[in-house]
Structure 1
Amino acid sequence: MVESVVKNWQGEQVGETSFDLRVARPETASHIVHRALVRQMTNARQGTASTKTRSEVRGGGRKPWRQKGTGRARAGSIRSPLWRGGGVIFGPKPREFNLKMNRKERRLALRTAFISRAEDIVVVEEFSNELQRPKTKEMVAALARWGVEPEQKALLILSDIPENISLSTRNIEKLKLIAADQLNVFDILHADKIVVTTATLEKIQEVYGA
């Protein structure tokens, strides 16, 4: 059970809330979170790097010079890997880097990572009504009132993302906005501060609860 204070749009403490998620045992927690992080980063790789072998490089169909009598080394193609402009030996080819991880393990790793950041989680009231129109300056000021320093990387998690909030946050360099049902281990661990609303906490417990 994690207890946290709730702040309003002005940054004042207006109440308290608690949330509870089932996490991994202390002796295995770091291992399962690490596995989930490696899986996410590995699966994000495109795997599109490609080089041409000597059979794929254009040209080289004619023997450069006769086999004997020139005094030079034997050569059968100008596209040999030994030649400039030739093919590549054992170069990268398109491939998949996907790693598998059970759904229950992924959920457990996500809950464990989220609870491990409990000290850096800032809970605020719903504030979509406070922004009558998109205004980045007001959003930056609100983050400062909530205790997020300008140089800190912040993750803002909302149960649903209104257009005015999306437009107000997209130009803030060190702020990332995601929906509650799109949580991932990398974003949780990468952020210095995590800002959530009370509705978001309920959504997270509903979606990712045991």
Structure 2
Amino acid sequence: MVTTVVKNWEGEESGEATLDLKVAKEENAAHIVHRALVRQHANARQGTASTKTRAEVRGGGRKPWRQKGTGRARAGSIRSPLWKGGGVIFGPKPRDYSKKMNRKERRLALRTALNSRLDDLIVVEEFADQFTRPKTKQLVTALKRWGVSEDEKALLLLPQKDENVYLSGRNVANLKLGLANYLNIHDLLVADKIITTSSALAMIQEVYSD
């Protein structure tokens, strides 16, 4: 179990929050997190790259010149891979890059990745009621009070999508907004700082505790 400080809207300490997640053993932690990261990146690939073989390129049905007597190399088609405009040898074809990983392993990798970032975790009180309308400057100022500098990449985890908070944060260059019940390995590892509210932290505990 890990105990962390909770900050209020002004950036002052206002209490404590706990997080108790089952993580992978130290000797296996890096391996399982790496597998989950590779899986996420592979599953994001579209796999639509495609080239045409000599059989698929338009034209080339007629032999360009007779076999013998011209002094030139013999040729059977103008769509040979050796010719300009010809087919491609061993070029890419549409394929599925997705990788499989057991659900229990994926969740274990998420918990392990989050646990490894506890030193960069900032827990704050609920602040959605501070935004009666979208206000980017107000959110940026709050991030500074919580200890996030402008050049740091930040991940803000919320218990649910709040329209005003979302509209306030979507144009901030180094800020990414996410939901506590939809964590992903890449965002957890890339962020320099992870900000979460008390209720979002409780949701993480509830959703990912098994």
Residue matched to 1:34: 34
Q: State, as a whole percentage, how many aligned pairs show the same letter.
A: 68
Match of 1:174 in 2: 174
Q: Which residue of 2 aligns with 1:106?
A: 106
Structure 1: distance between partners of 2:60 and 2:182: 52
Taking the aligned partners of 1:83 and 1:51, their CA distance within structure 2 comes to 15
Q: Secondary structure at the match of 2:6?
A: strand
Structure 1 stretches of at least 4 aligned residues deviating more than 4 Å after TM superposition: none
Q: How many residues align?
A: 210
Find the aligned partners of 1:181 and 1:129 in 2 and give their Cα distance. Answer: 21
Alpha-carbon displacement from aligned partner over 1:34-74 (angstroms, at most 9, x marks no partner): 11111111111111110000011111111111111101011
How far did residue 90 of structure 1 move?
Answer: 0.4
TM value normalised by structure 1: 0.99
1:107, distance to aligned residue in structure 2 (A) = 0.3
Partner in structure 1 of residue 204 of structure 2: 204
What CA distance in whole angstroms lies between the structure 2 residues aligned with 1:14 and 1:203?
Answer: 20
List runs of 5+ in structure 1 lacking aligned partners: none
How many angstroms apart in 1 are the aligned matches of 2:208 and 2:58?
54
Match of 1:45 in 2: 45
Question: Matched residue of 1:35: which SS?
Answer: helix
The residue type equivalent to 1:208 in the other structure is Y
Looking at structure 1, the residues matched to 183 and 204 of structure 2 have their Cα atoms a distance apart, in angstroms, of 9
Paired residue secondary structure (2:181): helix
Q: Distance in 2 between matches of 1:74 and 1:62?
A: 13
- 1:56-135 to 2 correspondences below 5 Å: 56-135=56-135
Point out where structure 2 has 5 or more consecutive residues left out of the alignment. none
Distance of 1:100 and 1:17 partners within structure 2: 35
Secondary structure (helix, strand or coil) at the match of 1:16 reads: strand
State the distance in 2 between where 1:30 and 1:46 align.
Answer: 27
RMSD: 0.6
